[in-house]
Amino acid sequence: MSRYAGGDANAFDVLYGRHKDASYRYFLRQLPEAAAADCHQTLWLNLIRARTRYQPTAPFRAYLFHLAHNVLTDQHRRSGRNPLTLVGTDTDGDPVRPDDLCGADDPAATLVRNRQAVRLMTLIRALPAAQRDALLLRAEAGLSIQEIADITRTSAEGIKSRLRYALRRLRAEFTDD
């Protein structure tokens, strides 16, 4: 990021290629697809505009997802709600995302895993917003408890509590199914 801020336009391609999927999924797990795409674009345009003011005082990933969190907060504020959306349904009515699914060796095992993963994404979407945000900052951005606390302006203990409740709820509901 420092190289890009210094005028090296090629450095942005490296930076974007390294973080674009995680940032996109961070939005996609919490917003409708169109809104997620908008937020993803807004995030990176904000970063481009602010590149001359960038100060490498924190890891870039934490900086990026701090911006992403702000974009998401703005999006929620504009929409006035915390939308929950399904990404689609298969013939059985279960939500499914056919593309980019992992594991293609064993079709049967892959199908099971895919169904489980899609189920998990659905449950994640149903989490309270604060828990979901902390969980995705942990899962997609790989941030530490303290980094998440800094971004969300919450105490580290508060973040631990959110993550604990979120994981217990997900596991409980997943097991029930």
Partner 1 sequence: MTDQDDQSWFDGLYQTGPQDKPPPDLDTRIRAAAREPAPGRAPRHYARWAAAAAVVLAAAVLLRLPPDAGSAYHGVAVETDRPESAPVAPPAMITPVETASRESARAGADLRASVPSTPAEASASAGLMRAKAGDDAERPAPERAAPAKQIADSMPAPPDAPAQALGALATNGTAGRCATLHVPVDGVNHPAEVCIDGDQLRVTLVNAACPPLTVALSASAHDSGPAGGQEIPSGPDSRALLPDRGMPVCVTGTWDYEPLPEQPTRPLTRP
CB of 80 to partner 1, least distance (A): 25
C-alpha 137 chain-centroid distance: 6
CB–CB of 23/125 below 8 Å?
no
Nearer to partner 1, 28 or 151 (CB): 28
Q: At what angle do helices 156-176 and 129-139 cross, to 10 degrees?
A: 90
CB of 36 to partner 1, least distance (A): 9
Radius of gyration of the chain (CA): 17
Q: Considering the rule CB under 8 A, would residue 7 count as an interface residue with partner 1?
A: yes
Q: Considering the rule CB under 8 A, would residue 61 count as an interface residue with partner 1?
A: no
Measured over the CA atoms of residue 157, residue 159, residue 161 and residue 163, the dihedral's sign is negative
Identify the helix (H) or strand (E) that includes residue 71: helix 60-79
Q: Considering the rule CB under 8 A, would residue 67 count as an interface residue with partner 1?
A: no
Q: Considering the rule CB under 8 A, would residue 72 count as an interface residue with partner 1?
A: no
Rounded CA-CA distance 84/86 in Å is: 7
Rule CB under 8 A: which residues touch partner 1?
4, 7, 9, 12-13, 16, 20-21, 24-25, 28, 37, 40-41, 44-45, 48-49, 51-52, 97, 99-103, 113-114, 116-118, 120-121, 135, 139, 163-164, 167-168, 170-171, 174
